[in-house]
Chains A and B, each alone.
Chain A
Amino acid sequence: MAKKSSPAPDLKTAYRKWKKDLYDPAREACSSAQDLTTVSGRRLKELYTPEDLEGWDFSKDLGFPGEPPYVRGVHPTMYHGRAWTMRQFSGFGTPEDTNRRFKYLLSHGQTGLSVAFHLPTLMGLDSDHPLARGEIGKCGVAVDSLRDMEVLFDGIPLDKITTSMTINAPAAVLWAMYIAVAEKQGVSPRVISGTIQNDILKEYIAQKTFIFPPPASMKLIVDTFEYGAREAPRWNTISISGYHIREAGATALQELAFTLRDGIEYVDWARERGLEVDEFAPRLSFFFNAHNDFFEEIAKYRAARKIWAEVMRDRFGARQPRSWWLRFHTQTSGVSLMAQQPVNNVVRVTLQALAAVLGGTQSLHTNSLDETYGLPSEEAVTIALRTQQIIAHESGVINSIDPLGGSYLVERLTCDLEGEAKAVIRKIDDMGGMVKAIELGYPQKEIADSAYWYQKAVERGEKVVVGVNAYTKEHEPIPLLLVDESAAQQQLSRLGEVRRSRNQARARAQLADLKKAAQDGLNVMPFLISCVKAYATLGEIMDTLKDVYGEYREPISY
C-alpha cells in the first residue's frame, strides 16, 4: 500500500517560526548587530526564500542569455565566447607619456584602450588658454590638435584595437581627430571600432564638463549618431553613463533610473531628427559604476538589461535584436576608495570588479589603489589589471553563465530595482523628459540629497568605512605618479609649432565653413573632420561653435 505523503510545510509559517524562535533571539543577544542596509540605504531582509519570488516567472523574469528579457546577459556565450574587455582608463602629461602608458598596458594584457583627456581638452580649451594654467596634463593627456592625436596613437594600429574616449562636450571633435589619424594609417572610418562617451545629459546632472546649452548639445550628439550610422558602423557613438551620476552621490536606484531615462531622451531626439531606431540603436552603449554593495550592484546590471530591452522593443518599436541589447562598460567606484591605508583599496576594487563580472559587463576598468592621491602609478595600475586577470582566469566565476541566477535575493532585488526604476522613469516622463527635468533641477537635487545623507551616515558611524571611521592606523607612504610642469612646457611648445607651421588660410577657411554649417543646422561631422585635418586647434573649433551655440551657465544649488 502507498504511504501517504505529508503535506508540504507552509513556507510563510515556517519562516515566521524560524525568525521568532531562532533568528530574533540570537540577534538580540549580539552586542554589535550589523545594520542590514546597502550603501544606497536599501534595507534588505535577513533572509530570502521562494516566498520572495511569488509571481516571478522564469521566462518573463530570467530566461536565457542572448534572448529577451536578457537578464542573464546580452550574448548567448557571454565570457565563454570572449572575456570582457580589460580597458583601463589612462592618460596624463603629454601625448608621448600616454602613448607609452598605452603600450605598457597593452603589453601587460589589457585588451582595449581608454583615453583620459586633461581638463582643458574636456572643456574645449587649448593648453595656452588662461584657464588652462596649472591644469596641463594633470588629470589626463593634453590634446590640442590632430598632431597630438597622431602622437598619442603612434605605433598603435587602429584597425586592430578598440578605443574608448572619455570626452563629452567636444566629443565630435575628438572623434573627428581619431578618424583622421586612422585615415592616415590607411584605416577607413568603416573599420574603426571604439566609443566616444558623448553623453551630455549626465554632464548637466553630474560630471559637469558641459559647454553648450542642452538643445545645441543634443543636436551635436544626433549628428554623431547619424554620421556613425552612415559612415562608421562599428563605432559606439555614445556611452550613456551612470558612473558619474553614482560618483556624485546617487543611490544605485537613481544611477539606474537616470541613466536609462537619459538613454530614452537620446532615442527621442534622434527619432525627432528622422533617424530610424534600428539605424542607430545598436551602437548605443552604456557605462555603469561598480560600487560597494555587491548584490545590489549585480541586481542593478540585470535590471538595466531587462528594462532597456523592453523600452527598445515596446516603447520605441525596435525590431532588430541588436537594438534591444544593453551593452555596457563598468568602472569600479572611485569615490569609495580611501586615502587612509590605500592598500585596502585593492580589496575594495576586487569585490567591486567581481560584482561587475557577475553582472555581465562587456568591458571593465579597475581603479588603482592610489586613486585618491593622483593618477595611477605604473605599479598601481598593474595591480588593477592583474585583479581583472585573476578574476578571469583563477576565480572560476566565468565557468557558468550568470551563476547567481535563481538566487532568491538576487532575483528579488533585480525585480525590485526594475519596478522602482520604471517608476522614476515615468516620473521624468511626466515632467516632460530629461532635458526638462534637468531644467527643473530634479536629478541634481536627488543626487545632492543622497550625497548628504550618505556623508551624515558615515559621520554618525552608521556606515563603517574601514580605515576612516573604524580600524584607523598610520600607513606607509606609497609611490605616486607626478606630472610636473615640463609636460606643460612641452605641450605649449608643440601647440605653438602647430599653429606656426600649418597652412593658415586653409585652417581659417575650414573654420569658416564649419561656422556656416553650424549656423545652417547641417551635420557638422564632415566639417569637423576637415577642420582637424587642417590643424585647426580644439580651442579654435570650439570657439567657432560657441559663437553659434552659446554657452551654458549652471544654476547654483546645493
Chain B
Amino acid sequence: MTQKKIRVLIAKPGLDGHDRGAKVICRALRDAGMEVIYTGLRRTPEEIVSAAIQEDVDVIGLSILSGAHGVLFPRILELLKEQGAADIPVIAGGIIPEKDIPQMKKIGVKEIFPPGSSTQDIVRWIENIKSA
C-alpha cells in the first residue's frame, strides 16, 4: 500500500514580495517526496486559510520578511480556529525577531525557523509531526 504523500501549503502573507526562501523550501519539500502547494505572493489571511482547507494540507508554512507577522499570524490562527481547522500545524520562517517568537508560539505557531535554518531541518520537522 502506497503511503499518502504529506501535503504542505507554503504561503506568503501580507505585502512582502521576497520569495527566494519560500521557493527554495517548496523545492526541498518536493524533493523530499511531499506534495507542495505554493500560494504565490501577497495572500490575505482569508485566502491562506481557505487554500489550506480546500487543499486538505497537513502543514501550513508561512514565509514573511516584512515585520507584519504580529498582525497577520494572529489573524491566520484565528481564522483556522473559526473554520474548525485549528488542528493543522502552522510553522513560519523569514525575518521574525527573536523577541516576538514566544508570543507567536503562544498564539499557536508550532515552530519558527530563523535565518540560517537548513531545509533538512524543516523536512525532518514536518515528517516527525506527521508520524506523531
Contact = CB atoms under 8 A, between A and B. Distances in A.
A526 B68 CA distance: 35
B61 interface: no
With a 10 A CB-CB cut-off, give which of A123, A455, A480 has the most chain B CB atoms.
Answer: A455
B115 A135 contact: no
Contacts of A130: 44
A217 to B, nearest CB: 15
With a 10 A CB-CB cut-off, give which of B23, B26, B70, B97 has the most chain A CB atoms.
Answer: B23
B35 to A, nearest CB: 13
A119 B16 contact: yes
Contacts of B38: 556, 558
Chain B interface SS verdict (over half): loop
A339 interface: yes
Interface residues of B, number: 35
A191 to B, nearest CB: 34
B129 interface: no
Contact of A558 (B26, B69, B72): B26
Contact of B17 (A125, A134, A208, A372): A208
A11 to B, nearest CB: 44
Chain A interface SS verdict (over half): loop
Interface string A471-513: 0000000001001000000000000000000000000000000
Interface string B66-85: 11111110000000000000
A374 B115 CA distance: 12
With a 10 A CB-CB cut-off, give which of A119, A247, A339, A373 has the most chain B CB atoms.
Answer: A119
Contacts of A451: 20, 23-24
A374 B67 contact: yes
A138 B68 contact: yes
B115 A339 contact: yes
B21 to A, nearest CB: 9
Contacts of B5: none
B116 A339 contact: yes
Contact of A134 (B14, B18, B24, B118): B14
Contact of B19 (A125, A131, A208): A208
B120 interface: yes
Interface in B90-119: 95, 97, 114-116, 118-119
A264 B66 CA distance: 32
B97 A338 contact: no
Interface string A543-558: 0000000000010101
Contacts of B23: 448, 451-452, 558
A277 interface: no
B20 A131 contact: no
B27 interface: yes
A420 interface: no
Contacts of B17: 207-209
A130 B14 CA distance: 10
B114 A339 contact: yes
A208 B15 CA distance: 10
B42 interface: yes
A335 B18 CA distance: 11
Interface string B18-42: 1110111011100000001011111
Interface string A518-558: 00000000000000000000000000000000000010101
**In the complex, the 4 A-B pairs of residues with the closest C-beta atoms, listed nearest first:** A134-B71, A208-B17, A134-B68, A138-B67
Interface of B: 14-20, 22-24, 26-28, 36, 38-42, 44, 66-72, 95, 97, 114-116, 118-120
18 contacts: A134-B69, A134-B70, A134-B71, A135-B67, A138-B66, A207-B17, A208-B19, A247-B20, A248-B19, A249-B24, A372-B115, A374-B67, A374-B97, A452-B24, A452-B28, A459-B120, A465-B116, A556-B39
